[in-house]
Amino acid sequence: MVSPGIFLKASLNAGREFFRPPVVEDGEPAPYRVPVMVPIRSIGPSHSERIEKHLLALDAHDRYLRFGYAASDEQIRRYSASLNYQRDEIFGIYNRRLELIAMAHLALSVDPDLTSCAEFGVSVLPHARGRGYGARLFDRAVIHARNEGVRMMFIHALSENTAMLNIARKAGAVIERDGSESEAYLKLPPADLDSRMTELVEEQIAQTDYRLKVQAMQFWDLLGLVQEVRRGVRDSRDRMPM
């Protein structure tokens, strides 16, 4: 369980981290660092545009691994529009520029006889890989699923999607292969005080983290505007005849 001390330390660290100038990413993976905590936020329909933009940024191969087929832009838009935010849960990881760099979809079963089952899917943008975000999203989804009474979580993936299958395997999932496709299923223990408090604290940290990022973006946008005005005033003054 995440202790109040860790929550306070993570919040203070987040403040120092996210009020630095935005860094322009060149598309190369950053050196791997073991984070104290990755803020993972539960996101709703107000973020639908960011979800769609995230999925559209995946190339053909990544779409193939995520959906089991090379989804077109139109198919991705339909998928994004069909997300049921009341029944399912969407989790996201944002960078300092509020770009959704990793997301997971925990889809609860619509079959009344299988209400204790859920399916997990995840995607991470290329430049954000190698940092363990997929595994962190999986852990976050497991905690939420337990607290929602889910007893069995499924991961349907192509057999070549070794990254996803390794995450499931390390969590103790049973994996069954059927040619080019694999089905992993993980039995979940029932919810307890630890799982409920962990989800509560992690969501609070993620919400605080997101608010800090929003404030940081607003601050740097304002600073950029002020600097632009100053440059304009200085240029005008320099052009004035002596």
Any idea what the CATH number is for the domain that residue 90 is in?
Answer: 3.40.630.30
pLDDT exceeds 50 at position 15: no
Range of 111's domain? Answer: 36-220
Three-state DSSP class for residue 86 = coil
Domain-located, residue 18:
no
User: Do the Cβ atoms of 87 and 44 come closer than 8 Å?
Assistant: no
The overall average pLDDT reported for the chain is 81
Phi and psi angles of residue 177, each rounded to the nearest 5 degrees, phi first: -100, 140
Distance, CA of 232 to CA of 226 (rounded, Å) = 10
Domain-located, residue 103:
yes
pLDDT tens digits, 129-175: 999 999 999 999 999 999 999 999 999 888 899 889 999 999 889 99
| Two tokens, residue 195 | 């799982």
Domain-located, residue 242:
no
Domain-located, residue 17:
no
pTM, whole model, 2 decimals? 0.73
Find residue 153's DSSP bridge partners.
118, 186
Of 135, 148, 151, give the one whose Cα is nearest residue 199: 148
Per-residue confidence (pLDDT) for residue 179, from 0 to 100: 80
Domain-located, residue 2:
no
